[in-house]
Amino acid sequence: MDNIIKEIEAKYPVDRVLVNGEQVWPYLRISYHLEYVTRISEKEGETLYGEPLYPKPSFSQRLKEYLELVKNSFYGLKNWLGKYDYVALSNTQERRSIDGKYFNRLIDTMIDELGRDSVLYIERRAPSFYPIKKVHTKRIVGRDLIDLIMFLVAFWEKLSLRRYTIQNGYILQAIQRDYNLEIDDALLIRTHIIQRRVYSLLFRMIKPKAILLSDYYSANMPAIKSAKNLGIRVVEFQHGLIGKENPFYNVSAEIDKTYFPDYLLVFGRKEIETFANRRFIEPENVSPVGSFYIEHMRSHRPECSLAKRLEPYKRSVGTTLSWSDEKRSIEFIRQAANLDNCIFYILIPRRPTLKYYDTLHLPDNVAIIRDLNFYEVITYVDFHSTVSSTCAIEAPSLGVQNILLNIDGVSKRFFGNILNDSRITRYIDTPEEFVNTINTFEKLSRDTISKLNEDIIATDYKKNIRDFINLHLKQ
């Protein structure tokens, strides 16, 4: 999929679209990209197989969600009462089970270093919370209480008929017309402003020294803007692929940077190159720290029933599926499997609960693994493949070489500037080339592969976190 945000920011004066004298494009650009992705996915019959990537909820679904907000507002309720030096914002999708506890793979290490009682952790459920007794984070609360307050404020504003005037709104109208998009700019702007007011009140009450985020764009931009307006530092942790193709991190126009984090903790040194134009963040404020969960999994190989299943085959491949190219990836693997039945293919879906997978009739040497994740599968296979999943940069650090499916040139566009060492990553265009590469790719030792990937995912995660805290948060 083309990066239309780059095109838009080159063609239109998006910095001139204002509400109350402030730019709105820094947060609207996210919605414009997602709407474009949804439209293309539906057009190509890809994601969710006939269902929109971001479906609009029905009235009954909305009512159910509001009732869920009320019920989940009590999650960790007592932890709202207390004095905290820091606030963390993340979601349940970042949790992994470690030694019987669900650990936030991005933020919990820093919380432990800062002091588990000094950080208020606000979690967004996706889709549900884990039992508090099974969560590693100590001072945890649900974001539902904040969302409930935001809903009540929005309802009051609707009754009061409050409106926000969009200055130079014709620019947004032109973009939507030219790219065939349908976006309710007024609703997004009103929602953002309401959320900022609620977060501003919260941060004035808590007075944190810094805000910690697992990502800036999914639901946290109002919190970032509120914090920075109050002089509070904002730290984001890389949670997935950034690179020079990610429109969320590659800004092509001179827009207001107070919607973005002050510091970004990335997996490795190569990511620093992404921010050379300084429009998203200053490169000197980007710190390579590595990945806690990668280091954990490197030394804790999980027990898995896959080993016996792989024994009859000469080589095996774990394929991570992605939203926008899942159908084409499955068909690609089907064709490759029929060319050589001595190779075993494991498909790792992003949404393992979809009933669609039950309807697939795949060759005997292809299996869809629905009860194990990428990290649990990858150390048992010989190679990893994908079109665009972040797992492509993680697999080598776990000792597994990549053979990437360059369908429509997407893999090279996403990873070409990052994964350019042919000893650990190859790009293929056809099923025939895929099978040939699987059979001829020289396998290196897992330690060698991991070492070659250190520019992409650094080592010594805990030390790097401590160094960052001492340099930037404990001044």
CB 314 within 8 A of CB 381: no
Nearest-angstrom CA–CA distance, 248 and 250: 6
C-alpha span between 399 and 453 (Å, rounded): 9
Considering the chain, tell me which residue range(s) the CATH 3.40.50.2000 domain(s) occupy.
301-452
Measure the CA–CA gap between 212 and 254, rounded to whole angstroms: 25
Between CA 152 and CA 195 the distance in angstroms is 11
* Helix axes 4-11 and 25-43, enclosed angle (nearest 10): 130
Indicate the burial class of 300 (C-beta count within 10 angstroms; 0-12, 13-18, 19 or more): exposed
Q: Which of 130, 136, 150 is nearest to 198 (CA)?
A: 150
Of the candidates 467, 470, 24, 473, the residue with the CA atom closest to the CA atom of residue 211: 473
Is residue 31 within 8 Å of 183, Cβ to Cβ? yes
Residue 129 DSSP symbol: P
* Neighbouring-strand partners of residue 104: 95
| Contact in structure between 138 and 118 (CB atoms under 8 Å) | no
Name beta bridge partners: 235: 212, 263
Question: Which residue, among 23, 26, 12, 59, has the nearest Cα to 279 in the 3D structure?
Answer: 26
Provide the b/e sequence for 19-40 (b: ≥16 CB within 10 Å): beebbbbbbbbbbbbbbbbbbb
- Residue 48: per-residue pLDDT: 45
Among residues 368, 320, 310, which one has the least CA distance to residue 342? 310
Cα–Cα distance for residue pair 230/207, rounded to 1 Å: 9
The CA distance from 33 to 9, in Å, is 12
**In whole angstroms, what is the distance from residue 464 CA to residue 458 CA?**
9
Strand positions, DSSP E, 35-100: 86-91, 95-98
pLDDT by 10s per residue, the chain, length 475 = 567 899 999 999 999 999 999 999 999 999 999 888 877 766 655 444 444 445 567 878 888 888 999 999 999 999 999 999 999 999 999 999 999 999 999 999 999 999 999 999 999 998 899 999 999 999 999 999 999 999 999 988 877 777 889 999 999 999 999 999 999 999 999 999 999 999 999 999 999 999 999 999 988 999 999 999 999 999 999 998 888 878 899 999 999 999 999 999 999 999 999 999 999 999 999 999 999 999 999 888 777 778 888 999 999 999 999 877 888 899 999 999 999 999 999 999 887 777 777 788 899 999 998 888 899 899 899 999 999 999 999 999 999 999 999 999 999 998 998 999 999 999 999 999 999 999 999 999 999 999 999 999 999 999 999 999 999 998 6
Residue 22 bridge partners (DSSP): 19
Least Cα distance to 25 among 280, 259, 327 occurs for 259
Distance CA 101, CA 136 (A): 6
CATH number of 301-452: 3.40.50.2000
Task: Give the angle subtended at the CA of 217 by the CAs of 214 and 223, to the nearest 5°.
Answer: 80
How far apart are the C-alpha atoms of 186 and 31, rounded to whole Å?
12
Long-range contacts (CB closer than 8 Å, 24 or more residues apart) made by 391-394: 391/320, 392/241, 392/320, 392/419, 392/425, 393/241, 393/267, 393/418, 393/419, 393/453, 393/456, 393/457, 394/291, 394/294, 394/457
pTM of the model: 0.91
